[in-house]
Structures are given as structure tokens and as C-alpha cells.
Homo-oligomer: A and B are copies of this chain.
Amino acid sequence: MIDLDTAKVMVTEARKKGRDLGLQPLAVVVIDDGGHIKAFEREDGASPGRFDIALGKAYGAVMLGMPGSAQMARAEAQAYFMTAANGVFGGKLVPVPGGVLVKRDGVIIGAVGVSGDVSDKDAEAAVAGITAAGLDPVA
């Protein structure tokens, strides 16, 4: 379980990392282990669709139990699998870095999704947020 206070720490610290690295404006979402949103913030200047992209990254991570990097590897090796997976999940998966699993004591308790800059930088911000909350990221 991710409580709201912890979710907000992750959002705040992921955004702070983005500012420290001089990234483009970010959208940052935290979802629980059922794929449901706990907290979200979209920075000024981030395009409106960044919500959907950030959520898609986090949602795929939770639903498949795979972070964005692993989903991207699968998509590159076997594109039709990720296309089919998107079919069964209503088109809600975005299989690129920036969807980072959140673990506590080895158990997945949710995910952070970040969108706004290039995917690897998005992931770096997500990892920073999770670490700052004392939890374990799998990017």
C-alpha cells in the first residue's frame, strides 16, 4: 500500500530532480498496486497529453510487473506482443522508460510514471522520487 503522504513525497522529489537536471517540464503520476492513481502533478509548460503518457508508463509497469525498460526490450524483440498486450489493456500501456516499479521489502506496491523529457531522463526523475521516499525503484 502506498499512502498519499508517501505518494506526494515521490511526486515532489521526482519534480525536484527534474529541476536539478534542467529537464523539460514534467508530468508525474503515482499509482498503487491495482493501477489506480494516488497523486499527479503536471508542471507548467508540460503539454496536456503528458498525463496520459505518464499514466500509461506507470500502468503498464504495474499490470505486467515489468518496468518500462523491460517492456521496451520486449517491444523491440517482439513488437506484436506489446501491440496485443495493448489490445487486452484497452490501449493503456506505454512501453518505454519512465515507468518505474516501486517495491518495499521486495514486493511491488505501485509505480511512478514520468513524462516530459526524453525517456531515460524521465526514468531518472522517477527513480529519484522513489528513493527519496525510502522505497526501492526498479526502472
Asked whether A8 is an interface residue with its Cβ less than 8 Å from the other chain, the reply is yes
Decide: A86 and B85 in contact? CB cutoff 8 A: no
Interface centre among A7, A41, A83, A84 (most CB of B within 10 A): A84
A80-B63 contact given A44-B3, A52-B89, A88-B53, CB 8 Å threshold: no
Asked if A35 and B56 sit within 8 Å, CB to CB, the answer is no
A52 touches B91 (CB 8 A): no
State whether B108 touches A56 (Cβ < 8 A): no
* Tally of this chain's copies: 4
Q: Is the CB of A88 within 8 A of B94?
A: yes
- How many of chain A's residues have a CB under 8 angstroms from any CB in B? 56
Residue pair A88, B56 in contact (C-beta under 8 Å): yes
Q: Write 30 A-B pairs (CB below 8 A) sorted by A numbering.
A: A3-B44, A4-B43, A4-B44, A32-B48, A34-B36, A34-B48, A36-B51, A38-B42, A39-B40, A40-B40, A47-B62, A47-B108, A48-B62, A49-B63, A49-B64, A49-B88, A56-B85, A56-B87, A80-B82, A80-B83, A80-B95, A81-B95, A82-B84, A83-B83, A85-B94, A86-B91, A87-B91, A87-B92, A87-B94, A91-B91
Kindly list the 4 A-B residue pairs having the minimum CB-CB distance in the complex, ordered from nearest. Answer: A34-B34, A87-B91, A49-B63, A47-B65
